[in-house]
Structure 1
Amino acid sequence: MKAKRIYSQRLRNENRSNLLIPRLTFSTIALGTIVILSGCYATYTQQDAVANRGASNQEVEAIQVTGTRNKQEAIEAKRMRFAQPMADMSVASLSMPNMEQDINPSYTEKYNHLEENGVVQTLIQPVSTFSIDVDTGSYSNVRRMLNQGYLPPKDAIRVEEFVNYFDYQYKASVDSKHPFAIDTQVATSPWNKNRLLMRVGLQAKSVDTHDHKAGPKNLVFLLDVSGSMNAPNKLPLVKKALTMLTKQLSEDDSVAIVVYAGASGVVLEPTAGNQQIKIERALSQLSAGGSTNGAQGIELAYKLAQQSFNQNGINRVILATDGDFNVGMVDHEQLVSLIEAQREKGIQLTTLGFGQGNYNDHLMEQLANKGDGNYAYIDTLNEARKVLVHQLDATLNAVAKDVKIQVEFNPNLVAEYRLIGYENRALANEDFNNDRVDAGEVGAGHRVTAFYELVMTGGDRYSEPLRYRPAQTDINEGQTEPNTTELAFVKLRYKPIDGNTSLLMSQAIEHKDIGEFTNQSDDFQFATSVVAFAQKLKNSKFVDGLDYPTIIELANQHKGQDDYGYRAEFVSLVRMAETLSSFSVSQNKNENSATKELVRTSH
């Protein structure tokens, strides 16, 4: 104990207490429970600096190592590090920290930095356009971090992937012409009564409807078996997850397996889906080792998919990896071009992320986007069951492609608006009618949700009103008076899965549709709690007055139907985030010294 006091004193003398990682360890003895708080260094290594300087500025390689991008993010790194799990330490075994063991080298995960959507004045820009997104990887990845005891980096949080993780009961399509219906709802905001929340939802038809039967599946599993996958939550989990998927297949389906490490190879030639023993044997024999050369594996996987191409079925490569491409000339532009070319030939790409430490979230999300597929992060067997069993049709069977949403707000009623999330799905307004512009796909039974925050004219504005109003032009023919009945007009454009010409859907949102938040459905109020939580984790300036207890109460009271317990689990995650936030060491008085220390040690 004396040695430990001397060690702690030395840390304080070096003015490095701002870099300590709080550790909470509980040891139960006969007289009660003792809580021990100990600390250790978390230094910024030379490897971190080299990795950060090597990141490309090009769009397809715009990968930033969170925590080392700039001075602000240096503070974020310190906040992330504080709760990394540590081996249990009993009273009897209390000793000086092991410096080699306690230095945390794992925070080299790669996330794309995007500025949060800002507030738009309707008089200046009344139209908002974006591509839909059905990915859920951000939510399950952040869940992994919270369950392991640390707060996520801001760039890991994509609000739309949080809210789209959950199912909602939206109205189904009754029009056989379209594969989904538009569902809208508007209510007062729970975190600002002087503003509104507007939800735009889509509900796709399921495969049991007569016009969207699931076709035969031609699947190629592309599996990373490099050394970086040698961990219980990587390759072993991959094998169990894909075994679950194959049990859903029939004799009409086909499965092939390609692996890659330093070199790539075919483990299983295209095999009928009902040959379970053969498929499972091929999966069970896989082991991890070597470096990663994913580009070679992708080329081989696409060749197999072409060999077994089914004109009337689903043709898809399923990539399972931690995204750590670290050998050879890894040209991401060339990789993306290959995926886009195969997409045009009718072969989609789904990416399944696994593991931590060297995880490349940005690349995984980007490749799925370019491959007309979806991106999920698998952190547990429960998540594998959700994505690859319960939602298999939504994961693999697309019912519409290039789905875009455009909302025009009425400046006579709406002074300002803000799209919450979808930062990396933004489109130029002219892209809405351009069928050459790629957008997101919707799977059978999928639900898509987007939220806007609105400020009404005369309401609690974010910005000062304009002194000079823009000239009103292009007024609708026959309109002699300002329209004060419609709040907004929603347009949706999509292509049928087997067509290249888009179709248009539209729906007006009436001013009379605005309701009190407390009178809204459980689905609306729960989804609002998810949107609030994601913004809170990102430290968004737009929810400054919102606290964790309010989010917990809102979610807990409106879980509604929760067959698989996903909503109850969400409440637990919010509680965990509240606990971790209370132990945050990023105090204002320490930020300057922590930043200087991290910058100094990087040179």
Structure 2
Amino acid sequence: MTEPDLTRLKDVPPPREQAKRAALAAAMAAFDDAEKKSGSATQGNDAPIRLRDASSRTEGKTQMRASQFNYGLAASIAALMIAAPAAFYLSKFNAPGGGNFATVSGKLTDAAPAPAPPREESKQDALAAVQAPAAPAPAQSSTGSLGTVRGRLGVLVPPQTSGPAGGGRVGSAANAPAAPAKPAKMARQMEAERFTSVPMPASAPLAKSKEAARAVANGLIMQAPQDAADMLPPLAEKEFRDQFDSKDVNPVKQVAQEPVSTFSIDVDTASYAFARRMINAGQLPPKDSVRVEEFINYFPYNYPQPESAEVPFKPTITVAPSPWNAHNRLVHVAVQGYALQSAQRPRANLVFLVDVSGSMSPEDRLPLVKNALRMLVDELKPEDTVALVTYASGSGVSLEPTKISDKGKIIAAIDVLGAGGSTAGAEGIQDAYRLAETHFDKGGVNRVILATDGDFNVGVTDQGELKGLIERKRDKGIFLSILGVGQGNHNDALMQTLAQNGNGTAAYVDTLNEARKVLVEEASSTLFPIARDVKIQVEWNPARVSEYRLIGYETRALRREDFNNDKVDAGDVGSSHRVTAIYEITPAGEKKLVDDLRYGRKAAEPAASGDSELGFFKLRYKLPKEDESKLISAPIGDAQAVEKLAAAPEDVRFSIAVAAFGQLLKGAPYRGKYGYDDVIALAKGAKGDDPLGYRAEFLNLARLAKTARP
């Protein structure tokens, strides 16, 4: 073809309109014939679509089926993994309130979702694998595959559809009535059911983000309404059944109105050991359990020693600035007891009274007590005697009084102790006192040592009756000491009452190290008294001091007249024990917490500079075998004062840090902004020689208390 020919062909005349319509009609007819031959599409829009060859149509069907499976799979996995933890929680804790809860099965919404438009057949095909028409919820069954789940999980779980016993599976519609499905749908449904029947491990991940988002977008997972009825019950907190006496902290007193302070000494340490246990577990102790004087007196101090057992106490007084109130001063009173030499120790007639009731079975109770008693036996001399009484549902003598020289027999009797039964503590105490009386040693120490968690729940439980029994035995020369163990039903209130009225000490043993401290390192202090009925009285000079308060000793307060009354019982002090008391005073002329009375007697004018006494200290005691008290006294004056707290001895500064820590735990309102960091800084600078690590342990305890939960 030549160029002229091509040029002529370029100018083609336009088609006629009738011919154009005829050609278009023929093409449409051809498409319709092809559609009839290929059959209706299984998925997608039913509107006319373009022609495709066989391989192309097969590939599209495969992709659409995969997409449909992903919808059901995503919904199944999401529902299963969200529901499984809650089902485990409910099956473990047996949560009540099953009326509104249903086994995970059938639809994943409380009500049927709004019907999808007819054109979205692909979406409804996907839903068919994991949902069925809603049905009324049956009674809650323990055989459901995943328990009952609802509310705070962020999904709505509908009532279970009726069907054969055993419950449905997540994503299964086998037990729900449904319209006959197309073969392809049934195959997909069976595949989803087979997949979701496999138990999922707790650590399995959720569906991929794309599939999970698709499930949420299509309404398979919905946010639940946070109604009270839909919420899962909260985790049940462990009931706190430990018992403590409630005492308010000592108030600030005006010297002009009440110039004399009188109290019984306290050498117990149970409060500190109990607080340490709780703080190490991440929880602050109850305020009623905190007795600040027991915190202070827990630690050994290197106070000046007395010279003889005839005058068994040496007081040392220091006056220093208060670290939490710049206007006030602290009067630190340290009393060191005489340390008996081994040859001076009297014989010991001991009766171990051991609670073997069911509550004593945990490792931190009876097993710990058995180890503690073995330690104590190793500290006794061959001529000392030991007896063993146990009590549970009844009381029995496990070992008659036996000399320590026959140690193997004593250890064997301790080793066979086992816990079981309820507690009849009063009956056991009576048996223990009977044994102690039968083998009473006039020249020795006669003492019952009670080891218990304090769970006296059977028999005579009246504290007044027990107190009367113990006082009568005390007057006969048989004393009572307490070893408290355990937590959860620790009856501190009862044990304090028994020990105080039995002229003994109350210790709390939570670890073997504490058992060693109480029964090995301080065995002489625990067992052998150097003085009885020890009382302290301080009179303040109103010309120098306007206000004062005693830190701690709330349970040991005495009336002013009790100090000189030898019939009034007070605390006993064992060999080498030391006692610390700290007063906070407001010097005359400084800012006070309590205003003077308008119509009362005016306070004394500040004394001249020559009057150096702030107050006067007195201590009264009885020697172990005497009934008449003796007196030790000393002035409190400027000669004992230091200008700065840093100039005070290490023992003084450390004990003040411990007092501040106890006040923090107690919630005392007089410490200003002094906090845990201040306590740590003061104690760290006064740690000094710490061979047994008690002060280092205190520093760690103060750090833990900062973050412990209340």
TM range (shorter): 0.7 to 0.9
In 2, distance between residues paired with 1:101 and 1:308?
Answer: 57
User: Does residue 1:579 correspond to 2:696, yes or no?
Assistant: no
Which of 481, 500, 521 is residue 649 of structure 2 equivalent to?
A: 521
Q: CA deviation at 1:93?
A: 9.2
* Contact persistence 1:130–1:422 (CA under 8 A): yes
Q: TM-score, structure 2 length as denominator? A: 0.66
- The SS at the match of 2:396 is strand
Q: Letter of the 2:444 partner, please give it.
A: G
Q: CA deviation at 1:419?
A: 0.2
In 2, distance between residues paired with 1:482 and 1:549?
Answer: 38
Which of 376, 381, 406 is residue 512 of structure 2 equivalent to?
A: 381
Q: CA deviation at 1:563?
A: 1.1
In 2, distance between residues paired with 1:6 and 1:307?
Answer: 63
Aligned to 1:431: 562
User: Does residue 1:128 correspond to 2:261, yes or no?
Assistant: yes
Report Cα offsets for 1:294-321 as digits up to 9, x if no partner.
0000000001111111111111000000
Report Cα offsets for 1:394-424 as digits up to 9, x if no partner.
0010000000000000000001000000001
Q: How does 1:66-465 map to 2 (within 5 A)?
A: 92=203, 102-174=235-307, 177-208=310-341, 213-465=344-596
- The SS at the match of 1:518 is helix
Q: CA deviation at 1:183?
A: 1.0
Report Cα offsets for 1:288-344 as digits up to 9, x if no partner.
000000000000000111111111111100000000100134221111111000000
- The SS at the match of 1:567 is helix
Q: CA deviation at 1:180?
A: 1.0
Q: Letter of the 1:106 partner, please give it.
A: E
Aligned to 1:74: none
Return the structure number with greater relative CO, CA threshold 8 A, min gap 6: 1
Q: Letter of the 2:684 partner, please give it.
A: N
In 1, distance between residues paired with 2:519 and 2:640?
Answer: 38
In 2, distance between residues paired with 1:284 and 1:297?
Answer: 19
Aligned to 2:665: 537
Aligned to 1:568: 696
* Contact persistence 1:484–1:511 (CA under 8 A): no
Q: CA deviation at 1:513?
A: 2.5
Distance 1:483 1:147, change over 3 A: same
In 2, distance between residues paired with 1:214 and 1:428?
Answer: 34
- The SS at the match of 1:448 is strand
Q: Could you tell me the percent identity over the aligned residues?
A: 48
Q: Letter of the 2:531 partner, please give it.
A: A
Q: CA deviation at 1:556?
A: 1.4
Report Cα offsets for 1:484-536 as digits up to 9, x if no partner.
21011001111111000011110001124221211111111110110000000
- The SS at the match of 1:252 is coil
Distance 1:250 1:209, change over 3 A: closer
Aligned to 2:614: 487
- Over aligned residue pairs, what C-alpha RMSD do you find? 2.5
Aligned to 1:559: 687
Distance 1:93 1:129, change over 3 A: farther
Report Cα offsets for 1:456-509 as digits up to 9, x if no partner.
011131122343552799xxxxxx989721011001111111000011110001
Higher Cα Rg: structure 1 or 2? 2
Q: Which runs of 5+ in 1 are unaligned?
A: 8-39, 41-89, 474-479, 585-603
In 2, distance between residues paired with 1:322 and 1:417?
Answer: 37
Aligned to 2:633: 506
Q: TM-score, structure 1 length as denominator? A: 0.78
- The SS at the match of 1:404 is strand
Aligned to 2:197: none
Distance 1:471 1:235, change over 3 A: same
Q: Which runs of 5+ in 2 are unaligned?
A: 1-80, 88-151, 153-200, 207-231
* Contact persistence 2:340–2:576 (CA under 8 A): yes
* Contact persistence 1:205–1:444 (CA under 8 A): yes
* Contact persistence 1:412–1:482 (CA under 8 A): no
* Contact persistence 2:426–2:459 (CA under 8 A): no
In 2, distance between residues paired with 1:568 and 1:155?
Answer: 25
Distance 1:483 1:221, change over 3 A: farther
Q: CA deviation at 1:92?
A: 3.5
- The SS at the match of 1:109 is coil
In 2, distance between residues paired with 1:511 and 1:383?
Answer: 39
Name segments (4+ residues, structure 1) moved above 6 Å.
Answer: 4-7, 480-483
Q: Letter of the 1:489 partner, please give it.
A: F
Aligned to 1:77: none
Q: Letter of the 2:703 partner, please give it.
A: R
In 1, distance between residues paired with 2:582 and 2:603?
Answer: 28
Q: Letter of the 1:460 partner, please give it.
A: K
- The SS at the match of 1:435 is coil
- The SS at the match of 1:559 is coil
Q: Letter of the 1:558 partner, please give it.
A: A
* Contact persistence 2:317–2:640 (CA under 8 A): no
* Contact persistence 2:308–2:338 (CA under 8 A): no
> Which segment drifts farther, 150-159 or 481-490?
481-490
Distance 1:551 1:424, change over 3 A: same
